[in-house]
Each structure stands twice: as structure tokens, then as C-alpha cells.
Structure 1
Amino acid sequence: MTINLENEQELEIPFDYEETAGQIVTKILDEEKCPYEAEVSITFVDDEEIRRVNREFRGIDKVTDVLSFPVTQFTPPADFSILEDDEAAADSFDPESGELQLGDILISVSRAMKQAEEYGHSLKREIGFLIAHSVLHLMGYDHMTEEEATVMEKKQARYLEDLGITRDAQIPDGGVRSDKH
């Protein structure tokens, strides 16, 4: 597995984000039974850059926390059998390494910091959530319907919990936040 990780923003990320990203991507690929060595690109950017990319590629002129750009359209999600078709596989594998190219993920670190504070958990948990969420998107999972959202949320929560990347704070009134973020 290859994770191309770039940090193109200036804020300090106070944990070993390379190790964390590796653990999350590996966990999801294993759990989703990916039969190939895979490659994922993750880039940490600032709000200005993620807004620019969001505007350019999605026509939405606003800052967001994360963007995912899959190489292959998996339908149904994580159905790697579609890669047995030579035509579908042609653009999905790196010709040099032979690895399955899942796609690119952009994460706004400043937005992740704000959300971590808002949700009352660590930056590691927020960035971990965004990575897990995006890797699932790269494998065809979505949350456009309530049913899809439920499936995706359960997977994200379970994978992060299995890795010990959990919420480490509660909301001030003593309640517990939902795991949508």
C-alpha cells in the first residue's frame, strides 16, 4: 500500500498524521476486502485551496472540510470485481507500481481544527474521521440517502473505534454527540 501524503498548509498538526493515515487506510482496505495493493493520495491544505478546488471541480464556491476524488466508480460500493473487466481496470491501476489507484483526498486542516473544537474531540479524531469518510467515498460509499448514510456512518464509527481513534470529550451538558462527525 502506498499513501502519498502532502502537507501544503502551515498549521501544526500535533500528532503523527502519517502513522494515523496509514492505520486508517490499511484498516478500511482490509475490512472492505480489497484484493489489491492500493494507492491513496492525501493532501492537507488551507481553506483558500480547498475552496478553490471545490469551486473548480464542483462549482461550489465555499470552504469545505474534505474533498474526495475517486479514480474508479465502484457500484455497488467496494465491489472490486468490476476491475476484472479490462476496460474498467485500464485507468484504475498505476502502470509502474501495479497498485490500484483509489483516488485523491484533500483535507482543510483549519476547518478540521474548528470542527474538532465544535464537536468536542481531538484533532486526531477529526482528521481520522475525515480520512475514513473519504476512503469510503473513494470505494463508492455515499450518504445521499438515509440508508446509505447509515451504512457509511456505522462503518466509519466501527473502523475508528477498532483503531482507538475515538471521541475523547463529551459535550458540556454531559450528553454524547452522534457519530456523524
Structure 2
Amino acid sequence: MTLQLEDEQAQKLPFDYEELAKQVIDQVLGMEECPYESEVSLTLTDNTKIRQLNREFRKIDKPTDVLSFPLVDFQKPADYDLLESDGWEVYFNPESGELMLGDIVISIERASEQAREYGHSLKREYAFLIAHSMLHLLGYDHMISEEAAVMEQKQAAVLKKLNITREGE
């Protein structure tokens, strides 16, 4: 797995954010039985920048915690069969051969605010946001309650497996 990481925000994080991102991404890919080596882009930013992106791409003019930009148009979540059909090669990096899943953008500023609001660590919030976004990159959504319940269960399973829980921090 390749993680392309950009940190364009000012806050110093009290944990190894690159290593944690890799652990969460690997856990999601394993849980979702991804048969391919994969590539993910992660950008850490602030509320100003994520607000601009949110306005541009979602037409919502306010900061958000995380944005996900999937590159693969999964018909069903984590259904890798489409990658075997004609035209599948566009989803793979021609240099590395890795499946290009997409981009995750996290506002560390907003994640810090949420961690305080929810009463848990920034590390837990950061890991949660990456797990959440990875599920989006694999085709999951939470627009209806049944989908939301599936995502919530999967996010909790990833964090539990990595021992990143609200209680066990």
C-alpha cells in the first residue's frame, strides 16, 4: 500500500500520523478483502482550505471534518469485479500497478474541535475519519439509515481491531 501524504496545516500532532494512517488504511483494506495493492492520497489541512473544497465540490459553504474523493465507481461497496471488466486499467497506477482508490482530505482543526466535543483523543478522531473515508473510497455511503448502520459497524470494527477506542486510549 502506498500512502501519498501532504501536511499543509500548522498543528503539531501528538502521534505518528503517517504510521497511524497506514495502519487504519491497511485494516480497512484487509477487512474489505481488497485483492490489490492500493494507493491512497491523504491531505491534512485546516478549516479555511477544507471549507473552500466543501464549497467547490459539495456546494456547502462551511468547514467539514473530512472529504473523500473516490476514483473507482464501485457499483456495490467493495465489489472488485468491475476492475476485471474492459477499461479497468484506468483505475491502476501505470507505474506501480497499484489500485488508485482516491483522495482523503482531513481538517485537523475541525478534527481537534470534534475530539474535544466528543470527549476523546485527537488520535481516535483522526483514525475514525480515515476509516470513514476509506469506506467511502470503497463505495460505502450513509445516505440512508441502513447504509449508515453498516458504515458505523465497520468503522467501529476497524478501531477496535487497532485498539483505538474511546475507553482504551
Please indicate the TM-score interval, normalised by the length of the shorter structure.
over 0.9
**Secondary structure in structure 2 of the residue aligned to 1:167:** coil
**Secondary structure in structure 2 of the residue aligned to 1:91:** helix
Q: 1:140-155 to 2 correspondence within 5 Å?
A: 140-155=139-154
Query: Residue 68 of structure 1 corresponds to which residue in structure 2?
Result: 68
Query: Residue 116 of structure 1 corresponds to which residue in structure 2?
Result: 115
TM-score (ref. length: structure 2): 0.97
Query: Residue 179 of structure 1 corresponds to which residue in structure 2?
Result: none
Say whether residues 1:79 and 2:75 are aligned partners.
Answer: no
Query: Residue 92 of structure 1 corresponds to which residue in structure 2?
Result: 91
**Secondary structure in structure 2 of the residue aligned to 1:86:** coil
| d(CA) in 2 for partners of 1:65, 1:160 | 18
| d(CA) in 2 for partners of 1:94, 1:159 | 26
| d(CA) in 2 for partners of 1:166, 1:103 | 26
Q: Is the 8 A contact 1:122 1:168 kept in 2?
A: no
Query: Residue 106 of structure 1 corresponds to which residue in structure 2?
Result: 105
Query: Residue 51 of structure 1 corresponds to which residue in structure 2?
Result: 51
Query: Residue 178 of structure 1 corresponds to which residue in structure 2?
Result: none
Query: Residue 176 of structure 1 corresponds to which residue in structure 2?
Result: none
Size of the aligned set, in residue pairs, is 168
| d(CA) in 1 for partners of 2:46, 2:34 | 31
| d(CA) in 2 for partners of 1:42, 1:56 | 18
Q: Percent identity?
A: 61
Structure 1 residue runs of 5 or longer lacking an equivalent are 170-181
**Secondary structure in structure 1 of the residue aligned to 2:67:** strand
Per-residue displacement from partner, 1:44-76 (whole Å, max 9, x unpaired)? 001010011111112111100000000011121
Give the aligned CA root-mean-square deviation in angstroms. Answer: 1.0
Structure 1: 4+ residue segments shifted above 2 A: none
**Secondary structure in structure 2 of the residue aligned to 1:150:** helix
Query: Residue 165 of structure 2 corresponds to which residue in structure 1?
Result: 166
Higher mean C-alpha displacement, 42-51 vs 54-63: 54-63
| d(CA) in 1 for partners of 2:145, 2:84 | 31
TM-score (ref. length: structure 1): 0.91
| d(CA) in 2 for partners of 1:120, 1:59 | 30
